[in-house]
Amino acid sequence: MLQVQQLTLGGFNLEELDVSESDGLFHRYGLRIPVLQHPDKRELDWPFSQLELSDFLRS
């Protein structure tokens, strides 16, 4: 069963998923962790700069 942790930080709703508990998610995200997903489903993969992160969060 996937472990999901949810919290709100700085006005953003965050949901942390442990992808190691799902073969499908680990296969999809394993080399890109951490990955951020925007509510509109866009994703920002590691590595990302502070500027890229700021732009992603503002959009």
Number of domains making up the chain? 1
Per-residue pLDDT, 28: 92
Judge if pTM exceeds 0.85: no
Q: Which domain holds residue 10?
A: 4-58
**47: CATH:** 3.40.30.10
Q: What is the pLDDT of residue 57?
A: 85
What residues contact residue 21 under an 8 Å CB cut-off, 6+ apart?
1, 2, 3
Q: Given this model, what pLDDT does residue 17 score?
A: 86
Q: How would you write the chain as a 3-class SS string? A: CCCEEEEEECCEEEEEECHHHCHHHHHHHCCCCCEEECCCCCEEECCCCHHHHHHHHHC
pLDDT given at position 14: 81
List per-residue pLDDT tens for the chain, 59 residues long: 545 566 675 777 888 888 888 999 999 998 899 998 888 999 999 999 999 988 998 88
What pLDDT, on a 0 to 100 scale, did the predictor assign at position 24?
93
